[in-house]
């Protein structure tokens, strides 16, 4: 994977046209688009996600009542992230857009 592909752009109209072309055929097949870097990123994300649940006991013990504020701040940040994903998915209404 080249770094120039990391910031590539494609117009929304082009994405929708490609999706319409793909749906015009009768036979539907999935393309293999995940590479080594993608699968590595998924693995790291899974490890970090599991680490959040295993360290919460230490956080509650050492942080005390401030732990509640940490959860509130994190919930607000996650809500903003979810709103961004929802907005992006509604702008490009095809499967796998977000």
* Maximal C-alpha separation, the chain: 60
Does the pLDDT value for residue 22 go beyond 70?
no
- Return all residues near 32 (Cβ < 8 A) that are at least 6 apart: none
Q: Enter the pTM of the model.
A: 0.49
pLDDT tens digits along 58-88? 888 888 888 888 888 888 988 888 888 888 7
**Is the separation of the CB atoms in 83 and 7 below 8 Å?**
no
In angstroms, rounded to a whole number, what is the distance separating the alpha carbons of residues 77 and 49? 16
What's the rounded mean pLDDT across residues 20-46? Answer: 74
Residue 1 has a pLDDT of: 58
Residue 78 has a pLDDT of: 82
Residue 75 has a pLDDT of: 86
Residue 88 has a pLDDT of: 78
Residue 10 has a pLDDT of: 77
Residue 87 has a pLDDT of: 82
Give 4-40 as a DSSP string: GGTT----HHHHHHHHHHHHHSS---------HHHHH
């Amino acid at each position: 994977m080249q770094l120039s592909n990391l910031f590539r752009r494609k117009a929304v109209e082009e994405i929708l046209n490609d999706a319409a072309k793909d749906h015009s055929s009768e036979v539907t097949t999935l393309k293999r688009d995940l590479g080594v870097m993608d699968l590595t990123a998924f693995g790291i994300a899974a490890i970090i996600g599991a680490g959040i649940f295993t360290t919460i006991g230490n956080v509650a013990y050492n942080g005390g009542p401030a732990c509640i504020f940490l959860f509130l701040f994190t919930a607000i940040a996650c809500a903003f992230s979810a709103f961004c994903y929802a907005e992006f998915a509604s702008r490009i209404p095809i499967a796998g857009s977000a």
